[in-house]
Amino acid sequence: MISKRRFLTLGIVIIICFSFYLYRLADLQLINTESFTDKGINLVQESVNQRTQEVLIDDGRGRFVDRNNVSLKKDAEPSLVLFPFLKDISWSSDKLSNLVNVPSTELERLVQNTKEPIVLSSKDGVELTNKDLKEINELEIPGVFGIFQQTTIDESVADHIIGITGENAETLREKYPDRSDLSYKTKIGVTGLEKTFDEFLLPDAETKLLYHVDGDGNPLFGVNVKYIADSNPFYPVTVETTIDKDIQEVAEDILTNQNVENGGLVLLDIQTNEVLAMVSKPDLDRSHSSTLTNHMIRPLFPGSVFKTVISAAAIEYGLDDANRKFNCNLNLYGEDDGGQDDGLLSFERSFAKSCNYTFTTLAKELLKKDQNAIEDIAGKLGLIGHIGWSGEVFHYDQFKQFPDEMAGSIWGDETDKNVPRAIDQTAIGQKDVKLSPMAVANMMATIARGGQKHEVRIVENILYKNGTNMFSFTSNKLEGENISPYTASRLQELLRLVVTDTEGTGRRFQSSPFEVSGKSGTAQTGKKNIEGETLYHKWFAGFFPSNNPKYALVVVEMDTTSANAGTNAVFYDMVAELAKF
C-alpha cells in the first residue's frame, strides 16, 4: 500500500513538472513570443537578431539642434561599411582604395580578420565627402556601402540641458503601455530635455543595413544586404532649442579655464527671454548621480543680489529718499562691531557698496507698511514661482520645458516677519531666501526690459522630419503684476552705479568692452572646507550693454572660499567674448 502511494505521489509530481515545462515551452513558442517577461522581450525578433549582422545607421530617436539648426548631440558622419563576406568573394578593392585613400591590402586585411561589419569614418582616418559616398555606391560592390551614419558628437556640449538617455524596460512599459512596437532595449530620456520631450523623441523605426548569416557566420541567402529605412515622412522629429552652440561652448570653456568646478551660469536673450547658454558644474558624469543635477534651476542662497528686490520695494513704496543717509559703520543688526567703516551713505551708494545696514533698515520699514511687500515685489520681478515656459501642448494641459525647476522661497516661516534678526538676514539674501540662477537672470532681464516679465524659453519649435512645424512655443508673459516703468528705470540706474562708482562692488567691469550693469552677492552657506575655511556662494548678476540691453547674465560659484572665487572673472570673460559675437 505504501509503495503504491509513493508511486502515485511520484507520478503526480512528474506530471506537474512535465505540465509546467510544456506550459513554459508554449509560453516561449506560442503565447508571449512578442512580449516575453515584464521587459516585453520580442523572442521572434531576438531569434532573427541571432541570425543577422547589421549596421545601425540611425536609431530613429529625435534629435536636438541649436537656434541656427546646428546639431547639439548627434551628427551624421560620412562612413564606409565593409561586410565580412567580402573575404569569400572577388571584389574590386583597388577601385575602392583609390576613392577612400586606404591601401587595397589594408582593406582586404580588415575584412579578412573580422566576423562583424566594419565601419570606417574620420575617427579611423577615413575622410569622406558626399561625392565620395556617391562614387562608392556607384561601384556596386556587394558588401560595400557609403552611408551617413548617426554618431554622437565627440565633444559634448550642453550636457545638463540636453540630458541623457538609458535603457529601462520596466519604466518604458509603464510610461508607454500603448507602444508595444517599442523594443525593450529602446532608450528613454532620463534627465534634461531628453526626459522632458521623451514622448516626441521616441523612435518610430531604425534605419540599418541588414545581412543574414548561418550559425557559422556564412551567408544565408547569398550576398544580398538589405537596406531597412523608416518611410515615415514625419518622424523622427527635431527639437529646435534656443541655445547658441558657439556661445554655449565659449561659456563652458570659460568656466573650465577659471577653475569653477561647482556652479555655473545662465545667459538670456533679453528681447526674447530665451536661454542662449546654460552651464552647470560639476560636469555631467553618468557614473556619479550627484553630477546629474542642473544647479541653474535649483534654489541657492543669493546673498546681496537680493538687495535688488529690497531696492525695488523701497522705490515702489516711496522709501528711496535721495537726501536720506544711512550709517554704514553699523552691521546688519545695527551694531557697531568695528567690521564696517563706510560712514554715512545715501540709498544709491548703499546699493553700489552693498551696505547691509541700509537694506535691513529698509526691510523693516517695508514690513511695517505691508507684511507682504517683499514677496510681492519679488513676484513682480519674475523672481519666485516657476518661471520656465509652461502651457498646453497637445494632450498636456501644463507642459513644462523645465519640469525639474524648483521655485524659490523668501520666508520659511511667516512669524519671521515679526522677528527683527530674521528680517535682517532675509533682507541680505540669507535665512530662508533661496533663488535659482535662472530666476535671478530672469529678474535682470525683466529690469532691463523696463519691467515686463516673461517666462523663460529654451525650446522654440518641434519640427517634423520633413521640416514642417509640429509645434511652436510662443512667448508667454508671466502672470501677475509688473513693477512700474519708473521703478525699472531707477533699478537700471542703481545696477549701473554698482560698476561706475569708484568703490562699487562691480567696479572691475568698468574696463569691459560692453557697459555692464549688475549686482554682486556673497552668501554664507553654513559650511566649511577641510581646512576650516568658511564657504560661500559667490554671485554676479547683471545685463549689458547698459544703454541698449541685449544679454542678461548670471554667474554663480557655489561652496567656494571668497578669495578663490572665479565668479567675476567668468562674467568679465563672457562679456568680452560676447562683444566679439
Collect contacts of 65-71 with beta carbons under 8 A, ≥24 apart. 65/238, 65/239, 65/240, 65/241, 66/241, 66/243, 66/244, 66/245, 66/248, 67/240, 67/241, 67/242, 67/243, 67/244, 67/274, 67/276, 67/460, 68/244, 68/245, 69/240, 70/245, 71/153
Collect contacts of 501-510 with beta carbons under 8 A, ≥24 apart. 501/349, 501/352, 501/353, 503/352, 503/353, 504/352, 504/353, 505/304, 505/352, 505/353, 505/354, 506/540, 506/542, 506/568, 508/568, 508/572, 509/568, 509/571, 509/572, 509/575
Q: Which helix (H) or strand (E) holds 162?
A: helix 159-162
Phi-psi region of 560 (alpha: psi -120 to 50; beta: other; left: phi over 0): beta
Neighbours of 153 (CB within 10 A): 13
pLDDT of residue 47: 43
Helices marked H in 404-529 — which ranges?
420-427, 437-448, 485-500
Q: Which helix (H) or strand (E) holds 571?
A: helix 567-580
User: What is the greatest pairwise CA distance in the chain?
Assistant: 115
User: How does DSSP classify residue 564?
Assistant: G
What separation in angstroms does the CA of 321 have from each of 315, 317, 324, 327, 348? Answer: 9, 11, 5, 15, 10
Total residues found in the chain within this entry: 581
Beta strands in 252-349 (DSSP E): 263-269, 274-281, 326-327, 344-345
pLDDT of residue 26: 52
pLDDT of residue 51: 54
**How far apart (Å, rounded) are the C-alpha atoms in residues 188 and 195?**
7
Concatenating the DSSP letter of every residue in 351-402 gives HHHT-HHHHHHHHHHHHHH-TTHHHHHHHHTT-SS--B-EEEETTEEEEES-
What separation in angstroms does the CA of 563 have from each of 531, 533, 536? Answer: 14, 11, 10
Give me the residue label for grid cell 544711512.
Answer: 326
pLDDT of residue 227: 77
Residue 283 contacts residue 263 (beta carbons within 8 Å): no
**How far apart (Å, rounded) are the C-alpha atoms in residues 53 and 111?**
14
CA neighbor of 541 nearest in space, from 379, 356, 305: 305
Catalytic residues: 304
pLDDT of residue 42: 47
Q: With H, G, I as helix, E, B as strand and everything else as coil, classify residue 146.
A: strand
User: How does DSSP classify residue 27?
Assistant: I
Q: What pTM was computed for the model?
A: 0.88
Residue 73 contacts residue 152 (beta carbons within 8 Å): yes
**How far apart (Å, rounded) are the C-alpha atoms in residues 242 and 474?**
12
Q: With H, G, I as helix, E, B as strand and everything else as coil, classify residue 486.
A: helix
- Structural domains for the chain: 46-163+207-241 (3.90.1310), 245-287+295-580 (3.40.710.10)
* Residue pLDDT tens, the chain, 581 long: 556 676 677 767 777 766 666 655 555 455 554 454 555 444 444 444 445 678 888 889 999 999 999 999 888 899 999 988 888 888 989 999 999 999 999 999 999 988 889 999 988 899 999 999 999 999 999 889 999 998 877 678 999 999 999 999 999 999 999 988 888 889 999 999 999 999 999 998 888 888 776 655 555 545 577 778 777 889 899 999 999 999 999 999 999 999 999 999 999 999 999 999 999 999 999 999 999 999 999 999 999 999 999 999 999 999 999 999 999 999 999 999 888 899 999 999 999 999 999 999 999 999 999 999 999 999 999 999 999 999 999 999 999 999 999 999 999 999 999 999 999 999 999 999 999 999 999 999 999 999 999 999 999 999 999 999 999 999 999 999 999 999 999 999 999 999 999 999 999 999 999 999 999 999 999 999 988 899 999 999 999 999 999 999 999 999 999 888 999 999 999 999 999 98
pLDDT of residue 218: 55
User: How does DSSP classify residue 304?
Assistant: G
Phi-psi region of 150 (alpha: psi -120 to 50; beta: other; left: phi over 0): beta
Residue 442 contacts residue 425 (beta carbons within 8 Å): no
**How far apart (Å, rounded) are the C-alpha atoms in residues 224 and 83?**
11
Beta strands in 255-346 (DSSP E): 263-269, 274-281, 326-327, 344-345
**How far apart (Å, rounded) are the C-alpha atoms in residues 495 and 211?**
66
